């Protein structure tokens, strides 16, 4: 049995709720599209800048914004840019619904409404001094990228940093150039695996959870951040526990249908919490009784 | 120079195995090296051995109309092949070294005979293979889900 590594990880741990930057959290503010970049066949990144000269957008890694495509609808999307560059808001998402498809069609100069930032954050400050294992699946790499940026900016504060990333195929690797660049770092361990590939792919094939057993980290002083499909996160937690990482040192980002983003409407209820307000980042042992339950 | 027994004991598959069993198993083992690109076995061929990978990476491939598809990669400390355990003892996939791969090759026919002669050792080996099979089965189930392709609602 190990103990929680993080100071805020006491038995009565509550998700750290961060207040929205805006005085009026329900009021979208105008942002101009700088760029829309296709990442993979179905994912894209939008870069935004304030249209009304608002002060730089401060946020914590893991938080999300509500993006409003004017006249179409509003959806929650994680912030995935570099927190040290608060002048540019970066969001990556998959074009799967009416709003995200409309968002993909936006051009530089178009205007979006932005509310946020909302929700809890990855505890990167508190993880300092430990090894950090990041387990990302598919587009789950996006909300973890901000945490990685932060830690790389202050690399000396952490032990080993290990990124384990799984996705569908080599063509679906998100931020591919950046991942390749990270792999060339001497102080960052990056392992990528895909579910299937042709014989031209020379990397790993298999589920991301299979990388955990061989990843180089000290389980007794490791904090893990996980984001991806819920089924992947369930198996990732099991593998981390097999390695000896305590449940109190595992954090994951939950997915629910967020609407108001301020804990009023109840759309994103998850057990006794509202994911928009209390999450999306939770410590695993806190949500364990509800995690993976179909009724919740 | 390391003996084959020592090399065997260094592999996670045999860790904790009684030394008399390791001695017996070492009698069926040989040290092998595969250059990058080398085909280790092909689908349909007789599965007369399995491999304990010591270093390197191997792709398991299946051929489809559009060409070979890699369904899994096997790396250092993994076990490659269990068709030697199950009749009709034929490989179900191709295996190809992706990089220089060093392994211990265990003669399946030799080992099956020794397991028949020593059921306690056979049971011990079977338990270890069951763990490997269980891990691969779980991993395969997750791969089948195509989970990254699902629509996702979370902030991303």
Specify whether A71 is located in the same domain as A184: no
pLDDT of B155 above 70: no
Angle A124-A130-A136 from CA coordinates, rounded to 5°: 60
Give the whole-angstrom CA distance, residue B26 versus residue B23: 5
**ipTM exceeding 0.90, yes/no:** no
CATH number, domain of A62, equals 2.40.30.10
CA distances from B107 to A266, B92, B150 (A): 62, 18, 43
Specify whether A151 is located in the same domain as A245: yes
pLDDT, residue A12, reads 47
pLDDT, residue B74, reads 94
CB contact under 8 A, B69 and A198: yes
Dihedral (Cα; A271, A276, A278, A284), 10-degree rounding: 70
CATH number, domain of A198, equals 3.40.50.80
Provide the residue-wise pLDDT of chain A in tens; the chain has 296 residues. 444 555 544 444 455 555 555 568 888 999 999 999 999 999 999 999 988 877 788 899 999 999 999 999 999 999 999 888 888 999 999 999 999 999 999 999 999 999 999 999 999 999 999 999 999 999 999 999 999 999 999 999 999 999 999 999 999 999 999 999 999 988 999 999 999 998 889 999 999 999 999 999 999 999 999 999 999 999 999 999 999 999 999 999 998 888 888 888 888 888 889 988 898 999 999 998 888 777 66
Whether the CB-CB separation of B44 and B95 falls below 8 Å is answered with no
The 3-state secondary structure of B11-63 reads: CHHHCCCCHHHHHHHHCCEEEEEECCCCEEECCCCECCEEEEEEECEEEEEEE
Please tell me the total count of domains within chain A: 2
CB contact under 8 A, A137 and B147: yes
User: What is the edge-to-edge ordering of all strands in the sheet holding A222-227?
Assistant: A204-205, A189-194, A161-167, A131-137, A222-227, A250-253, A281-283
| Any B CB within 8 A of A196 CB | yes
Residue A130 half-sphere exposure toward CB, CA atoms < 13 A: 22
pLDDT of B113 above 50: yes
Answer whether CATH 3.40.50.300 is correct for domain B4-145: no
CA-closest candidate to residue A103, choices A62, A146, A155, A42: A42
| Any B CB within 8 A of A81 CB | no
Whether the CB-CB separation of B60 and B74 falls below 8 Å is answered with yes
Domain that holds residue A94: 29-118
CB contact under 8 A, B152 and A94: yes
Mean pLDDT across the stretch B124-147? 91
**Is A124 inside any structural domain?**
no
Specify whether A136 is located in the same domain as A240: yes
Per-residue pLDDT tens over the stretch B33-84: 999 999 999 999 999 999 999 999 999 999 988 888 999 999 999 999 999 9
DSSP state for residue A102 in the 8-state scheme: H
| Any B CB within 8 A of A40 CB | no
Specify whether A107 is located in the same domain as A162: no
Whether the CB-CB separation of A218 and A173 falls below 8 Å is answered with no
């Amino acid at each position: 049995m190990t103990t929680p590594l993080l100071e805020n990880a006491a038995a009565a741990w509550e998700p750290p709720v961060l207040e929205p930057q805006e005085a009026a959290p329900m009021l979208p503010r105008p942002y101009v599209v700088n760029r829309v970049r296709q990442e993979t066949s179905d994912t894209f990144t939008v870069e935004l800048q304030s249209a009304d000269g608002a002060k730089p957008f401060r946020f914590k890694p893991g938080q999300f914004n509500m993006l409003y495509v004017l006249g179409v609808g509003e959806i929650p999307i994680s912030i995935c840019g570099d927190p040290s560059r608060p002048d540019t808001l970066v969001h990556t998402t998959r074009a799967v619904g009416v709003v995200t498809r409309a968002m993909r069609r936006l051009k530089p100069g178009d205007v979006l409404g932005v509310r946020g930032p909302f929700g809890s954050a990855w505890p990167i400050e508190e993880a300092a001094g430990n090894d950090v294992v990041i387990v990302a699946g598919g587009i789950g790499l996006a909300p973890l990228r901000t945490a990685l940026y932060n830690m790389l900016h202050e690399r000396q504060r952490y032990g080993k940093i290990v990124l384990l990333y799984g996705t569908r195929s080599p063509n679906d690797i998100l931020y591919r150039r950046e991942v390749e660049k990270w792999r060339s770092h001497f102080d960052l361990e990056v392992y990528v695996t895909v579910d299937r590939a042709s014989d031209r792919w020379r990397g790993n094939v298999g589920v991301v959870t299979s990388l955990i057993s061989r990843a180089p980290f000290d389980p007794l002083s490791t904090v893990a951040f996980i984001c991806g499909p819920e089924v992947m996160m369930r198996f990732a937690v099991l593998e981390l526990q097999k390695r000896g990482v305590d449940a109190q040192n595992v954090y994951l980002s939950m997915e629910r249908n967020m609407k108001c983003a301020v804990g009023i409407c109840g759309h994103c209820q998850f057990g006794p919490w509202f994911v928009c307000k209390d999450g999306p980042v939770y410590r695993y042992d806190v949500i364990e009784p509800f995690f993976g339950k179909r009724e919740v | 120079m390391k003996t084959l027994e020592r090399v065997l004991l260094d592999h996670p598959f045999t860790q904790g195995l009684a030394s008399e069993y390791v001695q017996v198993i070492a009698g069926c083992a040989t040290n092998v090296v595969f250059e990058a690109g080398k085909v280790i076995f092909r689908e349909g061929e007789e599965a007369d051995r399995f491999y304990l990978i010591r270093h390197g990476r191997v792709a398991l491939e299946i051929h489809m109309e559009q060409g070979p598809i890699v369904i899994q990669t096997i790396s250092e400390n993994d076990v490659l092949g269990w068709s030697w355990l199950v009749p009709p003892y034929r490989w179900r996939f191709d295996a190809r070294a992706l990089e220089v791969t060093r392994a211990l090759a265990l003669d399946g026919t030799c080992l099956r005979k020794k397991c028949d002669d020593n059921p306690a050792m056979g049971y011990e080996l079977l338990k270890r293979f069951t763990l490997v099979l269980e891990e691969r089965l779980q991993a395969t189930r997750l791969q089948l889900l195509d989970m990254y392709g699902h629509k996702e609602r979370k902030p991303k």
